Amino acid sequence: MIEISAVGDVFLGDYTISLGFGIKSSIKNNGFDYHFENIKNIFKNKDLVIGNLETIISDIGMDERDIKSIICRGDKGSVNVLKNAGFNMVNIANIYCSTALMLLMTQFTRYEVMILMLLA
């Protein structure tokens, strides 16, 4: 028997109302594993752990002066957060991240490598 865990709404960035104190900022202040340390054991013995990633993990095209450019962005180290928590695969689905996602699509090769690093 194959055991699968599916998780929704994994958000590793800051949003407009939480810039500077959202999840991305919390990860920066508390360490990469802080938010998943209490649930890692749930995923530990699963064959597949899938998450709906509501964040773009990239700095491609990011401009700190443009709020549309910085919202919904996780730190590149967030890949390790997901990997250490036990995720094997994520999909990206968040309409609010569309600006960052469009910038990534122009450089898909680099983005594809980041996802593959997560799955390795």
* pLDDT band with cut points at 50, 70 and 90 for residue 119: very low
The answer to whether residues 93 and 69 touch, using CB atoms and an 8 Å cutoff, is no
Output the pLDDT for position 49: 93
Q: Tell me if residue 58 falls in helix, strand or coil.
A: coil
pLDDT tens-digit series, residues 101-117: 666 665 555 545 455 44
pTM greater than 0.85:
no
Q: Is 21 exposed, middle or buried (0-12, 13-18, 19+ CB in 10 A)?
A: exposed
The DSSP secondary structure of 13-29, one letter per residue, reads S--GGGTTTSHHHHHHH
pLDDT tens-digit series, residues 13-46: 877 777 777 888 888 888 878 888 888 899 989 9
CB neighbours of residue 27 within 10 Å:
21
pLDDT tens-digit series, residues 49-92: 999 988 888 777 777 788 777 777 887 778 888 888 899 888 87
How far does Cα 104 stand from its chain's mean position? 14
Helix, strand, coil percentages (3-state) for the chain, rounded to 5, are 40, 20, 40
